[in-house]
Homo-oligomer: A and B are copies of this chain.
Amino acid sequence: MTPRLVASQQKLRGTVKDRSQQEIPGKPPGGYEPNDTKRRLRWVEELTGRNLEGLPLPRVDELQGIIENHVGYMPLPMSIAAPLLIHGDYARGEFIVPLCTLEGTLTLSMNRGLLAMAMTGGCRTIHLKQELSRSPAFCLPTITEIDSFLDWINDHADSILAAAESTTRHGRLLRVDPTPIQQWVVLDFVYDTGNAAGQNMVTLATEAACRHIQQETGFHYYLESGFNSDKKPSRRTLMNGRGHSVTVEFSLNGQILDFLGVRPEAILDFQQLAMTSSQAIGMLGNNLHLANALTALYLATGQDAACVAENAVAFSQASPDGGDGLQFRMTLPSLTVGTVGGGTRLPAQRRNLELLGCGGGSHDSRKLAEIIAACAAALELSLLVAVVSGKFAEAHERYGRNKIQ
Contacts and interface: CB of A to CB of B under 8 A. Distances in A.
Given A283-B233, A312-B232, A67 B60 contact: no
Interface string A262-279: 000100111011111111
B281 A227 contact: yes
Contact of A284 (B234, B345, B405): B234
B289 A232 contact: yes
Interface string A62-94: 011111111111111111110000000000000
Nearest to A147: B126
A39 to B, nearest CB: 10
Given A196-B404, A276-B181, A231 B124 contact: no
Contact of A180 (B105, B128, B295): B128
A403 B341 contact: yes
Most chain B CB inside 10 Å of its own CB: which residue of A68, A277, A342: A68
A155 interface: no
Given A68-B108, A295-B305, 20 more contacts: A36-B70, A76-B76, A76-B299, A103-B342, A128-B180, A135-B277, A143-B247, A170-B405, A182-B315, A182-B331, A184-B273, A226-B288, A227-B280, A232-B284, A234-B283, A236-B282, A238-B280, A272-B319, A291-B309, A299-B299
A34 to B, nearest CB: 5
Contacts of A67: 77-79, 99, 101-104, 106-107
Contacts of A71: 37, 40-41, 44, 52, 78-80, 98
23 contacts: A32-B68, A65-B104, A65-B400, A65-B401, A67-B79, A67-B101, A67-B103, A75-B346, A75-B348, A128-B146, A168-B405, A181-B280, A182-B247, A224-B387, A232-B288, A234-B282, A238-B282, A239-B281, A294-B306, A294-B309, A295-B306, A296-B306, A305-B305
A292 interface: yes
A7 to B, nearest CB: 19
Contacts of A291: 231-232, 306-310
Interface string A111-135: 1000000000000101010000001
Q: For the side of the interface on A, what is the size category? A: 35 or more
B269 A104 contact: no
Q: Which 4 A-B residue pairs are closest in the complex by CB-CB distance?
A: A235-B282, A102-B343, A341-B402, A291-B309
A392 interface: yes
Interface stretch (A9-17, A18-26, A201-209, A356-364): A201-209
